[in-house]
Amino acid sequence: MPEIDTDHAFEPSIKILLRIMQSIRENNFIGRTALALESNINYAVLSRYLDWLQSISVIESVVLDGRVHICMTEKGRKFAVELYNFSLQFASLIDKISV
């Protein structure tokens, strides 16, 4: 497991993670630039998220037709489902307390 730099710890946004994972899931294999455009995330910000997701083995880079593409691992597919379910539960909680 990679060592975490606690002074500059990466704190991912659930909304951004959902957008990234949804785009990867819908495309199976997608290049970084296409992923940035499709998920509407700044390329530099996306790169930081992809580095983090790769460090926890949720995504991997593969070479297809001489180009690097991103795809989900089996762990990533499970992560995407759990993340989506969590977001639904969180939205439901917000609805309950907003009434």
The CA-based diameter of the chain, rounded to the nearest angstrom, is 53
Q: If one looks up domain 12-98 in CATH, what number appears?
A: 1.10.10.10
Residue boundaries of the structural domains of the chain: 12-98
The C-alpha atoms of residue 87 and residue 99 are separated, in whole angstroms, by: 19
10 Å CB burial of residue 18 (0-12, 13-18, 19+) is middle
Rounded to two decimals, the pTM is 0.82
Q: For 10-18, what is the mean pLDDT?
A: 93
DSSP assignment letter at 30: B
For 22-63, the pLDDT digits (tens) are 999 999 999 999 999 999 999 999 999 999 999 999 999 999
**Angle of CA points 97, 88, 27, to nearest 5°:** 150
Whether the predicted pLDDT of 7 surpasses 50: no
